[in-house]
Amino acid sequence: MKKSVLIWVAILVTSQVMAQKSELTSAILSFRKQDLTSARSYISAAEDKLTSGGTLKSKDLGKFWFNKGLIFSTIYDSQKDLDLLNIARDAYMQSIEVEGSSYVKKSTNELLRCVNIYNALAIQKYEAKEYADALLLFETVVDVNAYKTIGLVDTANMFNANLMAIEAKDSDKVIELSSRLIDVNPRNGDYHIYLIKELTIKDDAKARFEAVKRGRALSPNHTGLIFEEVNYYLSINDNVSLLSSLDQAIEAAPENKVLHFAKGTALGSLKRYDAAIEAYQDAISLDGDYFDANNNLASLFLDQTATLIDQMNNLGLSQSDQIKYNKLKTQRNNLYVKAKPFLKEAVRIDPNALQVLYALKDVCYQTDDMDCWKETNSKIKALNN
């Protein structure tokens, strides 16, 4: 009885294999006749039996997956349904994965054809400004190119995918792709910039600082990364670290007036007035119409008068106090005199800067320059009318 059962099992298995091979053969013949409807039906029937426990020899299994890929990619050509192309891609990969498959080279060539289609579709989606779809397609190109039988690290399309993620405002994907690009080419400063900017948008200060440090270490001469370091220290008011970073930035871009201005501001906050004045003057030498530099330089002189005025106000009426008072007044007025030309320049650049006009009017009065006082007062009245 047991022998009889074994015989029936063997017959059943053999018949299932024969049926699968028959359906595979029918699918191939239908495909050759370009009867794609029948080809799809036969290949699907064969697959149903495989998933239900059926088996094929390795050579036939590789053949099955390869032909499934051919059938679905050809149907895609006529219907342009992306799901069909995805099915074909997966089938080619399955064919390659079969141990001892004789269809590895053919399936790899077909995968490369799929890559070209995905790439063309990605460009179409980009041109249509459908950035999220373009992102997925560029990522697919990258992933298929990375498949073991192709083995290409597709940096160009990884970069394209990153740009699409930026356009799609997919912050997590930008961070992921930027990080992958950095892993591929850590010396490329632009990749670090993309990551830093996204972390800035996400307001992740700790991750941003780590990204800035890593970028500066791996690409030390990249101007954009130097600027990002400057911006970081500005954002946290770390003027000591900022000055070190600014010196490197100015060395890399000496014609950038904003860097000199930022250096002046940092030095002024540290009460290093002489160095701050020099930095502001460097900014003005690069752009004579730089309002902020002229205004800040004037303010730098005026700020220094505050301590002198406090000392003057705390003196008594004794002869020695009056001597001290006059000495302090002279020092104060010297600062006013130094501030005056920069206030005038700021007013020239922006005649509507009312607060600057008020400061200039006071300086003119304190230094007994009545012609300047009258002219400035007239401008203030005209603006207030």
pLDDT for residue 17 is more than 60 = no
Residues 6+ apart with CB under 8 A from 383: 352, 354, 357
**In whole angstroms, what is the distance from residue 242 CA to residue 141 CA?**
42
pLDDT for residue 102 is more than 50 = yes
Q: How many other C-beta atoms are found inside a 10 Å radius of the C-beta of residue 226?
A: 26
Instruction: Give the residue, 16 or 37, on which the prediction is more confident.
Output: 37
User: Which of 3.20.20, 1.25.40, 3.90.550, 3.40.50 would CATH assign to domain 288-385?
Assistant: 1.25.40
Place of tokens 């077909």: 110
pLDDT value of position 212: 94
pLDDT for residue 12 is more than 50 = no
pLDDT for residue 223 is more than 60 = yes
Give the three-state DSSP class for 203.
coil
pLDDT value of position 59: 84
pLDDT value of position 104: 96
pLDDT value of position 8: 39
pLDDT, one tens digit per residue, over 149-175 is 999 999 999 999 999 999 999 999 999
pLDDT value of position 22: 83
Segments of the chain assigned to CATH 1.25.40: 288-385
Instruction: Give the residue, 98 or 8, on which the prediction is more confident.
Output: 98
pLDDT value of position 20: 62
Q: Chain-wide mean pLDDT for the chain?
A: 91
- Rounded to the nearest angstrom, the gap between the alpha carbon of residue 91 and the centroid of all alpha carbons in its chain is 36
Of 173, 100, 175, 113, nearest to 145 (Cα)?
Answer: 113
pLDDT, one tens digit per residue, over 299-353 is 999 999 999 999 999 999 899 999 999 999 999 999 999 999 999 999 999 999 9
Q: What single string gives the DSSP state of each residue in 126-166?
A: HHTT-HHHHHHHHHHHHHHHTSTTT----HHHHHHHHHHHH
pLDDT value of position 353: 95
The CA-atom distances, in angstroms, between 217 and each of 188, 212, 233, 260 are 12, 9, 16, 24
Long-range contacts at 130-135 (CB < 8 A, ≥ 24 apart): 131/164, 131/165, 131/167, 131/168, 132/164, 132/168, 132/170, 134/164, 135/161, 135/164, 135/165, 135/168, 135/170, 135/173
Q: Are 172 and 184 in contact (CB under 8 A)?
A: no
Of 189, 170, 191, 190, nearest to 180 (Cα)?
Answer: 191
pLDDT value of position 49: 86
Residues 6+ apart with CB under 8 A from 381: none
pLDDT, one tens digit per residue, over 44-75 is 999 998 888 777 888 899 999 999 999 999 99
Q: What is the dihedral of CA 92, 95, 97, 100, to 10 degrees?
A: -150
Does this model's pTM top 0.75? My answer is: no
**In whole angstroms, what is the distance from residue 382 CA to residue 65 CA?**
85
Q: Are 166 and 186 in contact (CB under 8 A)?
A: no
Average pLDDT over residues 238-253: 88
